Amino acid sequence: MVYAMVLFPLFMAGIAAAIPMNRVRPWLLPFSAVIHFSLTVLVLVSPELAHETGWFVLDPVGKVILLVVDTLVLFSSFYAVGYLMQRLERSNRFFTAGILGFLGLTSVVTWSHHLGVTWVAIEGTTLVTAPLIYFNRTKTSIEATWRYLLVGSVGIALALLGTFFLAYALLRQGITPSLLLEDLVPLSPELSKPWLRAAFILLLIGFGTKMGLAPMHTWKPDAYGEAPAVVGAILAGGVTSCAFLAFLRVYQICLAAGEGAFASRILLYMGLFSMAVAGLFMVGQRDFKRLLAYSSVEHMGILIFGLGVGAPALFGTLLHVMMNALTKGVLFLSAGNIHRAYNSRNIGQVHGAFRRLPVSGILFFLGFLAITASPPFGPFVSIFAIVTGAFDAGKTPGAVLFLLFLLLVFFGMGRTVLAVTLGESPSRESQYRDTFLTAAPIILVMALVLALGLYLPTPLTELLQEAVSFMEKWS
């Protein structure tokens, strides 16, 4: 099954690159996404299909991330058709092929149990998404693309060095080195502790750069600000989720090695620091797309903080991967519509979105409420679970700071969002209006975020509990 899930989107990417018709090419996105999502559902309901070889096994944590990314890409693919049909003045050849290539590479990340293969796939996601940032062909977009490539390459290089350190931690003890999880995890207690700790720090910095953790987040504001809305959604919900999964593999090895306390301290500090930096940059932010970039920095900090809390917050942390990805989809796609209607990202020129673009304006506002953990939306459930887990684990000072940073983010983000949505629309009217394909997918994602806040389906709860049990057995 892994070969079908990897090769099918890559094959469709080749087809997209070969098709000369600009109007036909975008429809390959929803076609491929629907088939890929169907394969994902088939694997989830048929556990016997989740085992291929020693290198490719879809474990419970991989299942969660695969479901998250596939759901986001599924809805985004329909939006992409509506967006690209309005941008027929530009060739969408590489845009379409890049998204399909990303879908195939994320399948490699979620299935891989070999850290070397995971590293290659993570780097691959950088290479296929970078050209998408440059779609608008402006000076600022090329600068954002190069920053994304340079910062991401430095981060992934440090992750490669950390992977070498991990292998050397075995060699140092006279054990034949291996990067296969099935070998590494049982041998973790034998690893050289100094080399393991050094590997952990390097891998945290490396994969943390891909996630956009502060202070390795410098590529995010430019990349998210310049990228088309659908690309921002994929970066914020897809690339970051894959990088988080890669780091979860490393965290699993540290737990098995008895280094959970060492890892926990670092993760708690890094998580809170990322939230604090994001909150400070949100205060007074006038560019509403860059605002979403700092929101992503904040939520990567939330995930790392939840991981640092440990077992009591694992359920909430894994649930939040899903809630963050879906809600970021709502925010980025609706923000993209608003940007197109006003041809500006600055709140000095953008206000009155409720009047000019009622559907996208309302969705943008609801997305803000959801991402700031307001009930009854899904992120409230996941963040509440992380906070209660922190108090239960005795991390009271960290939990208090966590709540204070959430409050800072709420006020900082709320000021910009209210400026965008409220007030009178500028007299200069735009021809842009919401269409079915650029509005309906966002409405459906927003409905899903609300529904998951009101009720978690039993199959989803069981999937998350299975992932938690899979992680806890090594703690």
124-173 per-position pLDDT tens digit: 999 999 999 999 888 999 999 999 999 999 999 999 999 999 999 988 88
> Residue 474 pLDDT more than 80?
no
pLDDT confidence of residue 46: 84
In this prediction, residue 51 has a pLDDT band, given cuts at 50, 70 and 90, of confident
Residue 397, C-beta contacts closer than 8 angstroms, at least 6 positions apart: none
Q: What are phi and psi of 180, to 5 degrees?
A: -85, 130
pLDDT confidence of residue 430: 67
Task: Report yes or no: 211 and 301 within 8 Å, Cβ to Cβ.
Answer: no
C-alpha closest to that of 353 among 368, 343, 342: 342
pLDDT confidence of residue 250: 92
In this prediction, residue 427 has a pLDDT band, given cuts at 50, 70 and 90, of low
Task: Report yes or no: 203 and 119 within 8 Å, Cβ to Cβ.
Answer: no
Q: Please tell me the distance from the alpha carbon of residue 119 to that of residue 246, in angstroms, as a whole number.
A: 8
Which pair of structure tokens corresponds to residue 342? 């006003």
pLDDT confidence of residue 288: 94
Domain ranges of the chain: 260-475
390 half-sphere exposure, CB direction, 13 A CA radius: 28
How many of the other CB atoms lie within 10 Å of CB of 194? 11
pLDDT confidence of residue 52: 60
Q: Average pLDDT over the chain, rounded to whole?
A: 92
Q: Please tell me the distance from the alpha carbon of residue 68 to that of residue 217, in angstroms, as a whole number.
A: 22
> Residue 319 pLDDT more than 90?
yes
The pLDDT of 61-83, averaged and rounded, is 95
pLDDT confidence of residue 88: 87
What confidence tens digit (pLDDT) does each residue in 370-398 have? 999 999 999 999 999 999 999 999 999 99
- The percentage of residues in the chain with a pLDDT greater than 70, rounded to a whole number, is 98
C-alpha closest to that of 203 among 147, 245, 174: 245
- The percentage of residues in the chain with a pLDDT greater than 90, rounded to a whole number, is 77
> Residue 322 pLDDT more than 70?
yes
In this prediction, residue 110 has a pLDDT band, given cuts at 50, 70 and 90, of very high
The pLDDT of 188-206, averaged and rounded, is 93
Residue positions counted in the chain:
475
> Residue 182 pLDDT more than 90?
no
The pLDDT of 305-322, averaged and rounded, is 95
Q: Which DSSP letter does residue 51 get?
A: B
> Residue 428 pLDDT more than 70?
no
Task: Report yes or no: 320 and 382 within 8 Å, Cβ to Cβ.
Answer: yes
Q: Please tell me the distance from the alpha carbon of residue 218 to that of residue 246, in angstroms, as a whole number.
A: 20
Q: What is the pTM for the complete model shown?
A: 0.95
How many of the other CB atoms lie within 10 Å of CB of 258? 15
> Residue 104 pLDDT more than 90?
yes
> Residue 293 pLDDT more than 70?
yes
Lowest mean pLDDT among 8-17, 204-213, 348-357, 379-388: 348-357
pLDDT confidence of residue 423: 80
Q: Please tell me the distance from the alpha carbon of residue 213 to that of residue 298, in angstroms, as a whole number.
A: 8
Q: What are phi and psi of 323, to 5 degrees?
A: -65, -40
pLDDT confidence of residue 437: 93
Name the residue with tokens 């926990």. 264
More confident residue, 51 or 46: 46
Q: Please tell me the distance from the alpha carbon of residue 67 to that of residue 128, in angstroms, as a whole number.
A: 21
Task: Report yes or no: 304 and 271 within 8 Å, Cβ to Cβ.
Answer: yes
> Residue 185 pLDDT more than 90?
no
The pLDDT of 84-96, averaged and rounded, is 91
Coil, strand or helix at 114: strand
Q: What are phi and psi of 302, to 5 degrees?
A: -60, -45
pLDDT confidence of residue 53: 66
Burial of 343 by CB count in 10 Å (0-12 exposed, 13-18 middle, 19+ buried)?
exposed
pLDDT confidence of residue 429: 64
